[in-house]
Amino acid sequence: MSAQGLSVPLSVLDRSSIRRGQAPAEAVRDTVRFARRMETLGYHRFWVAEHHSVPGVAGSAPTVLAAAVAANTSRIRVGTGGVMLPNHQPLVVAEQFGTLEALHPGRIDMGLGRSVGFTGGVRAALGRGKEDAVRFDEQIRELLGYFAGTPVHRGVHGIPAEGLRVPAFVLATGAGADIAADAGLALVIALVSGVGRAAERIARYRAAFRPSSLWPRPYVIVSTAVAVADTRQRARELLLPEAWSLVHSRTRGVFPPLLTAAEIPEPTEREASLLSDVLRGQIHGTPESVRDELAELVERTEADELLITMSTYDRGDMLDSYTALAELAGI
């Protein structure tokens, strides 16, 4: 970390979270407005996500939403964190990202994940099964082949993707880190199991990395929730709505719309333990303490970039936190 701020770029992942009482369509429009604000604050990238049939998340069509974000911004890089490749045919994904890159040259990122639908009903609606995630490495190679002009299917060309350069990133779920290293792609890793576990997987990725035309060297983005406020307690309250929805999903199978901190019910013993685990992996506090924690995170993981994912009920409070984070990071 420099004397003024952090030594790595900061980026944003927005899932189009739905607030209690809000229409999903409004949440999607909020994402586009939020992206414009993040651009003015100097964030490096703005990514959107893919979730299907989730009551608390409106972000279900990432390439469509990324197109809207790119059309309403002018400088910030725009991408996905990520498109769940097992849900799609690689040719269609190549065509979509090729179209995005053709319309917004030099600004598009292709973040790829290997998750499939959370429930059997969603998987059936998508026409996919759990077995489709097993072919993730093959799907990536097929997808990249359409950009490189080396398709695996004879006579099939990814138009307009062929010949275009779109940086590809792999979300490190399951064997994702190993797949990213073998394919020579950038790695995105979330602090789900703590910094120590993430650092181990990053070290393995760097050691096994095979250079590619997209990434001649390993590149690591560490993703985490960050909340900045005047006091540590206030910053913790900003994280509670999304943390509670996550705990709710783990105990009841449904990720609900965000509540205010005051509306969150008294947790059971198991819920309290899960909530503590979720918050332990997130960073919150005053500007000074957050700057120190982020600097330590970068030092321990040797991250090349940080991807911030925080949402809270009040969008004004969320914007204040992202503004304070930009200021303390010196971006």
Cβ neighbors of 299 (< 8 A, separation 6 or more) are none
The pLDDT assigned to 1 comes to: 36
In a domain, 274, yes or no: no
Which stretches of the chain drop beneath a pLDDT of 50? 1-3
In a domain, 84, yes or no: yes
In a domain, 251, yes or no: no
In a domain, 302, yes or no: yes
CATH number, domain with residue 160: 3.20.20.30
In a domain, 34, yes or no: yes
15-42, pLDDT tens digit by residue? Answer: 999 999 999 999 999 999 999 999 999 9
In a domain, 255, yes or no: no
Task: Tell me the residue range of the domain where 172 lies.
Answer: 10-225+293-329
**What's the gap between Cα 263 and its chain centre?**
27
Cβ distance 237 to 295 under 8 Å?
no
Cβ distance 163 to 114 under 8 Å?
no
In a domain, 247, yes or no: no
The pLDDT assigned to 133 comes to: 87
In a domain, 297, yes or no: yes
The pLDDT assigned to 5 comes to: 73
The pLDDT assigned to 43 comes to: 98
Number of domains in the chain: 1
